[in-house]
Structures are given as structure tokens and as C-alpha cells.
Structure 1
């Protein structure tokens, strides 16, 4: 049961709820301006969703899992994974930042680096350690060529 709850989309939903709550009940009179914030927020949310979907499609084509608590069958290093070792988590961060901008939740911008830190500690470090053990030199080469985020 814990593996069904302790997954990145649940963490993202929690951070989104916190940002929405702040924007709705404690707006503090801060704003980015409606046009620019809406445009940039929409681009970030759309780009983040596209990045997540492309990553998942690429992983499915390679017949490996995108679930964080399962062992990967293959190391995916091309396509969008040639830009970032963690494009799904990068997409999640973009979605969070986009909604924060769209909702004019200026004080909630602090949630973005906190979300990145939580994802690194809860998921990325463990996943990369497992990939390093399973794929040895192949993962070492990949991690030297491709950055964790961007």
C-alpha cells in the first residue's frame, strides 16, 4: 500500500494543493501580472505534461517501468533521456512552477526547490543507485554525459 501512495504524482498533488491553498486563502496581494503569468504558467504546465508523456512513452517502448519502486529492465539513455536523466521529475517540477505562476501564488515559489529536494531524496538518489548497481559502467557513462536535471 505504501508504494501506491509514496509516488511522485502524489507528492506533486500535495505541493499543488499547498500552492492552491496559499493562492486562494492567503494571496498577500502579490502578483506577476495576469497576462505574463498565465502565458508562462501555461507554457510550463504544457511543456511539463509533454515531457512526462514523452518520457513514459519512451520507457514503455523500451519495455521498462516508470514506477519508482520497481527495478528497471533497461537503461534508457536516448531521446528525451539524452537531455535529462530525470525528465519525468523535471516535468513534474515544471508543472508545479507553471501552476504557481498561473494561480499568482508568488509566496509558493519557494515550494519548487523544496519539491526538487524531496524528489531527489525520496526517489532519484535511490533510483540512480539501483541503476548504477544493475547497469554498472553503462550508467556511469550515461551519468557523466547527461545531467540529472538539465
Structure 2
């Protein structure tokens, strides 16, 4: 059951809630064209961020699985801009789909998703990284923001 507690599963759950809201209770609209365009850009940017992060982690030969011990602290590539590019990408995908679907009432799901990711994954990962890569992680955390 541990595979259920993975970021893509949480993202799928939040996307499902947004889709249900727009299907069952379609309320309001973000606008005819700009929301679709911005939504598409956010989804595309989120997918790109996640792909860049996974590629960099594979290149550095460390795990992308959140509950596993990292072999290396990745600070290069997209990780030089944000400590959590995959989670940022996931949040962008959710925001983009909320806009694209005109799921106005689902907007609060975005900060809730960010909160869940921080509590379920980021906080635990940071503890493990800080414990394993003491000085290197401290320097990295001071130089690189958690999100943006």
C-alpha cells in the first residue's frame, strides 16, 4: 500500500476532484481564451520541469522515489533553481488543469495540494537529506529556494 502514498497518486486524486467539480458543479468561468492558454502553458511547463528533474536525477544516479534514501544530493540543472522541481511541476499541472477546465470552485485545491506535498514528502525528504549531506545540504538550502 506504500505505492499509494506517492506524489503522482496525490496529483491524480486532486486532478480527479477538480474534474468532478467542473463536471458535476460547473460554476463560473475564467474566460474564453486566456485561461485555456495559461492552463496549457502551466501544464506544459510543469511536465517540462518534472522531465528535467527526473533526467538530472537519473544522470546523477539517485532515486526519484520520495520515500527512499538518496545516493547523492542533486544541486545541478533545474535543481540549481528550485529544490523541488517535480513538486513544483505537479502544482503547475494541477493549476493548469483547473484553469483549462474552468474548475473555478477547485481553485482552493492548489494550495491544499502544496500543503499536502510539503507535509507528506518535502519535510521528510529534507530531514533525510540534511542528516546524510549535513553541510552540503545546509549550503544548498541557503542558496536555493524550496519552490521558486
TM-score by length of 1: 0.97
The residue aligned with 2:33 is: 35
The residue aligned with 1:110 is: 108
Pick from 64, 76, 86: which aligns with 1:88? 86
Matched, 1:50 2:39: no
SS at the partner of 1:34? coil
Residues 42-76 of structure 1, C-alpha deviations (whole Å, 9 max, x = no match): 00000000000110000000000010011000000
CA–CA distance in structure 2, aligned partners of residues 104 and 83 of structure 1: 30
CA–CA distance in structure 1, aligned partners of residues 32 and 110 of structure 2: 20
Deviation for aligned residue 1:5? 1.0
Matched, 1:7 2:3: no
CA–CA distance in structure 2, aligned partners of residues 75 and 83 of structure 1: 14
Alignment gaps of 5+ in structure 2: none
Query: Does the 8 A contact of 1:3 with 1:69 survive in 2?
Result: no
Deviation for aligned residue 1:3? 2.2
TM-score by length of 2: 0.99
Q: Could you list the runs of 4 or more consecutive aligned residues of structure 1 that deviate by over 4 angstroms after TM superposition? A: none
The residue aligned with 1:18 is: 17
* Equivalenced residues, count: 148
CA–CA distance in structure 2, aligned partners of residues 34 and 24 of structure 1: 17
Residues 64-119 of structure 1, C-alpha deviations (whole Å, 9 max, x = no match): 00100110000001110011100000000000000000000011110000000000
